[in-house]
Structure 1
Amino acid sequence: MTSAADDSNNEVADLVGKLVASEETDGAERRRLLGRLGGALARSAGKARQRGVGRGRWLADVFMNIAPRLPVRDLETLREHHYGLTGEQLADDLVRTAAKATTAVGAVGGALAAAEFAAPPLLLSAPAQIVAETLVVAAIEVKLLAELHEVYDVRVPGNGTQRAAAFALAWSKQRGVNPLAPGSATLALGTAAKTALRNRLMRTLGRHLTTLGPFLTGAVAGGALNRAATKKLAAAVRADLRRQRALPRSDAPASELTPPSSGKPPASG
C-alpha cells in the first residue's frame, strides 16, 4: 500500500511529465497543469514538513522521483519529430524547442505568481507556483541534456535510474556526462551528487522568486530568465559533448529513460 506522500509525489511526477512531453501544449492547458502541479506540491511539502524534511532536501527528493520518468527520445524518434534533421541542425532545433518551452513555463508561472502577488489573501500560495515552475524548467532542461547526448552519440551506462541520476547531476553542474569517468553511474547516486542537485535546484528556485511582482512584470521576467538559462546550459553541454564525439553519428540503437509515446506529432521547434 502506498503512503499519502508517495501518492502526492507520483501525482507530481505525472503532471511534470505531461508538461515536459507536451511541446505543443497551449497556454490555457499549461496554466491548468501548472495550477494542479502547485496544489500537488503543496500537499507533498506538507507531508515532508510533518516528517521534518528540509525544503532543499524535499525538492531534490521530488525531482529524483521525476527524473527517471522523463520521456527521453532516442535518435530515430528525435529525427522523426524534428523533420529529419541530423547533427548540429538537430541539436539547434532541440535547443530552440526547449528554450521556447521554458520561456512559456516562465511566462505562465510568472503570471500566476504575479496575480497572487497582486492579491494579498493569496500570497501564501505563490511559492507553490514558483516551486512548480522550478521543477518543470529543471525537467525540460534535463530532458534536453539527455537528448543532446543522443544526438552527439555519447552513451551513458547504467540502468534507467542510474542514467537519470547521471543526467540530473550533469544538469546540476551545467555540463555533459563523461561516461568514461571512473564510477560515473554510482557517483551520480552518491551524497555529493544529491547535494549538488539540491544546491542547483535551490539556485533555480531563487531565480524564479525574482519574478514575483505585480501585473505582467513576473511573466516577462520569468520567460526571459528561463530562455537565457536554457540557452546557456545547452551551449555548455554541447561544447562538452563535441569534445567527446564528433558529428555526424551513425544510427545505432539508443538508450532512453522511458520509451517515447507513439504517434506524437513533430515538434514545431
Structure 2
Amino acid sequence: MAQPEREHADPAREVGEIVGRLTDSGELEPAERRKLLGRLTRTLAAGSKRARESGETRGRWLADVFLNIAPRIPIRDLQTLSEHHHGLTGEQLADDLVRTAQKGTMTVGAIGGALAAAEFAAPPLLLSAPAQLVAETIVVAAIEVKLLAELHEVYGVRIEGTGTQRAVAFTTAWAKQRGIDPLAPTSVSLALGAAAKTAVRNRLLRTLGRHLTTLGPFLTGAVAGGVLNRAATKKLSAAVRADLRGKQAPPHLAAVRELHPDDPRELGS
C-alpha cells in the first residue's frame, strides 16, 4: 500500500530529504548509507529521464537539482560545532571538520565504486551506473558545501542574506573552490546570477567526470572512488581555509557571536 504514496511523492523534496540525511552530523550504519544511496539513485534516475524527454541537458538538470536541495543541507552554528567536536575551537575544530568530511566523501566514493565494480561484471546492469554516479556526485558535493559553510562559521566569517541566498553563495563558493569575501558588497547578489549557475554546473560535471573513473572491474572502482574523493575534499578545504584565515572577524566580535549564537541550523531556515 505504500507504493502509490511513493509514486506521487515530490521528487525534489525526496532528494533533499535523502541528501540531508546522508550529510547530517550523525553516524550512519554502512547498510543504511547504502540503502539511502540506492534510494537516491532511483529517484534521480526518474528525474533524469524526465529531463531528457523534455530536451534538458544533463549539466543543466544536475545544477538545477543541486541548487534546489542546497538550502536543505544542515549547517551547524559555531556553538553546535564545538559541542559536536568535543569542545574543540579554532584550527583544531577546523582540522576535525575536514577529517570528518574527508571520511564522508571517501565512504560515499567507496560505496559507489563498489557498486559500479559489481555492475561492471554484469554488462546489462551497467545502464544504471550513470544515475548511481550522479547520486554519488550530489552527495559528495553536499558534504563539501556543508564543510565549506561550517568552516566559515569556525573562522567567524559571517555571510549575510536569506537562507536561500546564503545557500547559493556557499554553493557558488564551492564551485569556485574558494572562501567568500564578506566585505564584497556583491558576494551574495552575484551568487544568484547566470554565471554562478554555470560555475556550479561545470563543477558538478567535473566531479561527475571524476566519478566515472570508478567504473572498473573487481575492487578498483571502490579504491579509486574513495581515494579520489578524499583528495578532492582535502584540496578544497586547504584552499578555503587559506582564504578564510585572512578574513576572520576581530576577536571581540567572534567572542560576542559565540556567546549569542543566532545563526540558523540549516542554510534554508
Q: TM-score, normalised by structure 1?
A: 0.91
Q: Match for residue 110 of structure 1?
A: 113
Distance across 2 between alignment mates of 1:5 and 1:220: 38
Matches within 5 A, 1:47-126: 47-126=50-129
- Tell me the SS of whatever aligns to 2:35: helix
- Tell me the SS of whatever aligns to 1:179: coil
Distance across 2 between alignment mates of 1:53 and 1:5: 22
- Tell me the SS of whatever aligns to 1:154: coil
CA contact (8 A) 1:163 1:257 kept: no
- 1:213-264 per-residue CA deviation (whole Å, 9 max, x = no partner) reads 011110000000000000100000000000111686321425336289xxxx
Distance across 1 between alignment mates of 2:139 and 2:8: 20
Distance across 2 between alignment mates of 1:20 and 1:143: 8
Structure 1 residue identity aligned to 2:264: E
- 1:71-117 per-residue CA deviation (whole Å, 9 max, x = no partner) reads 00000100110000000000000000000000000000111111111
Q: Match for residue 4 of structure 2?
A: none
Q: CA RMSD in A?
A: 1.8
- 1:102-149 per-residue CA deviation (whole Å, 9 max, x = no partner) reads 000000011111111111110100111110100000000000000000
Question: Could you list the runs of 5+ residues in structure 2 that have no partner in the other structure?
Answer: 1-6
Q: Match for residue 258 of structure 1?
A: 266
Distance across 1 between alignment mates of 2:211 and 2:26: 21
Count of residue pairs the alignment pairs up: 257
CA offset at residue 12 of structure 1? 1.1
Distance across 1 between alignment mates of 2:149 and 2:231: 19
Distance across 1 between alignment mates of 2:68 and 2:47: 12
Q: After TM superposition, where is structure 1 displaced by more than 3 Å over at least 4 residues in a row?
A: 246-249
CA contact (8 A) 2:73 2:267 kept: no
Q: TM-score, normalised by structure 2?
A: 0.91
- The reply to whether residue 146 of structure 1 matches residue 142 of structure 2 is no
Once the two structures are aligned, what percentage of the paired residues are identical? 71
The 10-residue stretch of structure 1 (133-142 or 8-17) with the greater mean CA deviation from structure 2: 8-17
CA contact (8 A) 1:152 1:247 kept: no
- 1:39-74 per-residue CA deviation (whole Å, 9 max, x = no partner) reads 000011112122221100000000001110010000
CA contact (8 A) 1:68 1:257 kept: no
Task: Label 1:158 to 1:257 Cα distance change in 2 as closer, same or farther (>3 A).
Answer: farther
CA contact (8 A) 2:163 2:267 kept: no
Q: Match for residue 240 of structure 1?
A: 243
Distance across 2 between alignment mates of 1:7 and 1:172: 27
Structure 1 residue identity aligned to 2:64: D
Distance across 2 between alignment mates of 1:49 and 1:114: 26
Distance across 1 between alignment mates of 2:65 and 2:80: 28
Structure 2 residue identity aligned to 1:88: E
- Tell me the SS of whatever aligns to 2:199: helix
